[in-house]
Structure 1
Amino acid sequence: MNKFVSALCSLGFIAAASAQSSDIDAQHNQVKQQFAMLNLSVNAISEAPLDGLLQVFTNKGLFFTSKDGQYFIEGNIYDLTNKVLVNDEQMRPYIQQQVAANKSGTIEYKAKKEKYVINVFTDPSCGYCRKLHNEMKDYNDAGITVRYMAFPRGGLTSETYLQMQHIWCTKDSRGAMNAAKDGKNVKPAMCNNPVKTQYELGQSFGINGTPAIILPSGRLIPGYQPAKALLAQLQAE
């Protein structure tokens, strides 16, 4: 009898869990439909740290919404008790995961005595990107390996997008990057390349300018940082 009762309880638990999962799927599908009306493609949905809200990772960054998808929240949310930016805290694990999954397509400038690895979304036509590149020795001497990811600021119809494809497709991609950062022409070369994927990845992190630096923790730093200042931030992580 006890075994029979236990079996019934187990079946009831499974049925309840299945119904709950079905409700969540329906809820998420509704959110996806609502976001599609805003031309936002949903990559992932999870419970937000705020009661009654969902956090939605999209092709244009992180947003929050009511669970029925009716109310859309764009902007920063601060946790005043813990003194943290909620958007940043929730994005870090997502960014870490996505960067790790796309590391094979980067152009790397490796430090001989590597202590830290950063990923930098870059554009050869960007002034501060060139400044960062000109100081590559300083970063490497500080033990910081730099991995470049593509982010043509003008979008996928720009000349820079085409140039970045040439850079990534050239056998000596580092040499081509060096030339482009110096304002020199890069010899045309085409292949299957990650430039479009990396650009869209950057957009999904909420990036809209370069350079954009990703620390090992997944923290995003918009803009240029000199090696000394960047090293201090890495050490404080």
Structure 2
Amino acid sequence: MNNVKILSIGFIGMLVLTTFVVSVDRAIAGADIETNGVSASTASQSTSVSTDHASNWQQVKNKVRRTLQLNVSSIAESPVPGLLQVMTERGLFYVSSDGRYFVQGRIFNLDADMRNETEAALTSTRLSGLEEFKGTFIEYKADKEKYVVNVFTDITCGYCRKLHEQMSDYNDLGITVRYLAFPRAGLDGQSYKDMVSVWCSENQQKAMNDAKGGAQVPAKSCNAKVAEQYAFGQSIGVNGTPNIILPDGSVIPWLSAS
């Protein structure tokens, strides 16, 4: 039996609208998330970190880089005493404060209705990271824009093509879609070269439409940000497409066939 899941306009539209309302409610409730991706209490602790702690953090960063070949872009106290949260080009991880243990996983707060603390940290990282790519998206703007979603896409991805076929429906709902490049095969495959060509096209929307329709992409070259967008996606945990970032920074991950 073919149980291939299909992205539907009703499903994505409902999630976008629902998540937007929920995010507003959370903001009004005064969620304790600061723009640096940690709680207000953690941020307060971070600002009072002693010189000794700062030196220790640098040692942890150096050890992660030396041992795992991962560059740490930021480091901070995690919600769990004794664990540091480290942001790398491969995502968010945790390291014991003595640099001995490396943890991959998610932290949930049992005293706050199972709040996903890892997701909270990633949410602000996604939003701040998106700001750095302003002007480099391929945008399909709604005439009566109500919401903006950012979508990591690959021109060879079947689900991405299905989503793209419904673009006019999203726009009619007031949803503007901004594409970021995420060539699933990495930076050495033909998909990467084709996506560079799309981003370098004089008419990016037409090039994207043609590519998503299976047409041959005329080769072009320019200083596109395809590699940088791909690296950003990896750093925030994108591992498939389409990966949709909603207005509050939460994510609708890619759907796999079953």
The answer to whether the aligner puts 1:39 opposite 2:47 as a matched pair is: no
Equivalent position SS for 2:244: strand
Q: Aligned ranges for residues 97-136 of structure 1 at < 5 Å?
A: 97-136=128-167
- The CA deviation string for residues 96-135 of structure 1, in whole angstroms up to 9 with x for no partner, is 1011111211000001110111110000000000011011
Q: What SS does the aligned partner of 1:103 have? A: coil
Aligned residues: 206
Distance 2:107 2:50 in 1: 28
1:79 pairs with 2:105 = no
Instruction: Give the equivalent residue in structure 1 for 2:241.
Output: 210
Report SS of the residue matched to 1:81: helix
Are the structure 2 counterparts of residues 94 and 20 from structure 1 closer, same or farther at C-alpha, using a change threshold of 3 Å?
Answer: closer
The worse-fitting range, judged by mean Cα deviation, of 108-117 and 28-37 is: 28-37
Deviation string, structure 1 residues 36-93 (Cα, Å, up to 9, x no partner): 1112111111111111211111101111111122111101221122222221111111
Superposition pairs for residues 14-93 of structure 1, below 5 Å?
Answer: 21-36=50-65, 37-82=67-112, 83-93=114-124
Secondary structure (helix, strand or coil) at the match of 2:148 reads strand
Q: For 1:95, give the aligned amino acid.
A: R
For normalisation by structure 1, the TM-score amounts to 0.84
TM-score of the aligned structures, taking structure 2 as reference length: 0.77
Structure 1 segments of 4+ aligned residues over 2 angstroms from their partners: 19-22
% identical aligned pairs: 49
Q: Distance in 1 between matches of 2:82 and 2:120?
A: 18
Worse-matched range after superposition: 215-224 or 119-128: 215-224
AA of the residue aligned to 1:24: H
Deviations 1:140-163 (A, max 9, x none): 111110000000000000100000
TM-fit CA distance, 1:25: 2.8
Residues 152 and 199, structure 1, Cα contact 8 Å, conserved in 2: yes
Whole-angstrom CA distance in 2 between matches of 1:143 and 1:123? 23
2:228 corresponding residue in structure 1? 197
Give RMSD over aligned pairs.
1.4
Quote the offset at 1:20 in angstroms. 5.4
Deviates more, 1:26-35 or 1:42-51: 26-35
SS in 1 for 2:228: helix
Larger radius of gyration: 1
Please point out which of 113, 137, 160 is paired with 2:191. Answer: 160
Structure 2 residue identity aligned to 1:175: K
Instruction: Please give the alpha-carbon distance, in whole angstroms, between the structure 2 residues aligned to 1:141 and 1:24.
Output: 52
Match of 1:139 in 2: 170
CA contact (8 A) 1:34 1:70 kept: no
Q: Deviations over 1:183-211 (max 9, x none)?
A: 00111110111000000000000111111
CA distance in 1, matches of 2:110, 2:173: 35
5+ residue gaps, structure 1, are: 1-18, 225-237
Q: Give the match's secondary structure for 2:81.
A: coil
Distance 1:50 1:179 in 2: 49
d(CA) in 1 for partners of 2:100, 2:136: 38
Whole-angstrom distance in 2 between the partners of 1:169 and 1:215: 26
